[in-house]
A and B are shown apart, each in its own frame.
Chain A
Amino acid sequence: EIVLTQSPATLSASPGERATLSCRASQSVGSSLAWYQHKPGQAPRLLVYDASSRATGIPARFSGSGSGTDFTLTISTLEPEDSAFYYCQQRFKYYTFGQGTKLEI
């Protein structure tokens, strides 16, 4: 099983700041990595797929980068509504998710 480790577990930041969320895979997943935003009680929302492609309708302030084992989701200018859990997910071998980063604005 490919294990995804996200850091930090919790990130506190202020509106207007930049947030950097990390995801490390236990083995190479190429570019087969996606990021999701999840607010309690809501459907998770796809943000980025294939490591760096923004999903339809996602604001440009969300960007993904990385390949192999190390990936990053960057939110360039935080807004209050960005408070949520963020999960990375790989599709290289079956499908697994990271344990999540809680972003508090």
Chain B
Amino acid sequence: QVQLQESGPGLVEPSETLSLTCTVAGVSVTNDYWTWIRQPPGKGLEWMGYVSYSGSSNWDPSLKSRLTLSVDTSKNQVSLKFTSVTAADTAVYYCARLLGGGPFDHWGQGTLVTVSS
């Protein structure tokens, strides 16, 4: 079955770049679209953006200038780079598969990232 697992540093300093990886099992990342969603403490879910192996991508307009998403077929991973982070970017970050442009049908368990010095 399809499984996703996020990994990355739990703590990032303000103004630095957050880098996260999503390791995918059970399906090739060359298929479908892959997305990142975050949830700040005590708040709701926020879609950040999606990417596909073919190069299709889209981002939340408010995050576009800071966000880079990529697909690594050799490792079957999806990656996120998020620049100039602040305390407001503290959140649990989830990766998910975006099925045919429709719903997010498989999710990872999420990884908590705290932005603090």
Residues of A at the B interface (CB closer than 8 Å) are: 32, 34, 36, 41-46, 49-50, 55, 87, 89, 91, 94-100
Contacts and interface: CB of A to CB of B under 8 A. Distances in A.
A34 B107 CA distance: 14
B94 A97 contact: no
B109 A41 contact: yes
B101 interface: yes
Interface of B: 4, 35, 43-47, 58, 60-61, 94, 96, 101-110
Contacts, number: 55
A90 to B, nearest CB: 10
Given A41-B109, A55-B103, A91-B102, A100 B94 contact: no
A95 B107 CA distance: 15
B102 A50 contact: yes
30 contacts: A32-B102, A34-B103, A34-B104, A43-B4, A43-B94, A43-B106, A43-B107, A43-B108, A43-B109, A44-B94, A44-B96, A44-B107, A45-B107, A46-B105, A49-B102, A49-B103, A49-B105, A50-B102, A50-B103, A55-B105, A87-B44, A87-B45, A89-B45, A89-B104, A91-B101, A94-B60, A94-B61, A95-B47, A97-B44, A97-B47
B110 A43 contact: yes
Nearest to A4: B44
A5 B44 CA distance: 11
B109 A89 contact: no
A38 B24 CA distance: 20
B115 to A, nearest CB: 21
A95 B104 CA distance: 10
Contacts of A91: 101-103
Contacts of B105: 46, 49, 55
A96 B104 contact: no
Contact of B45 (A41, A42, A94, A97): A97
Nearest to B59: A94
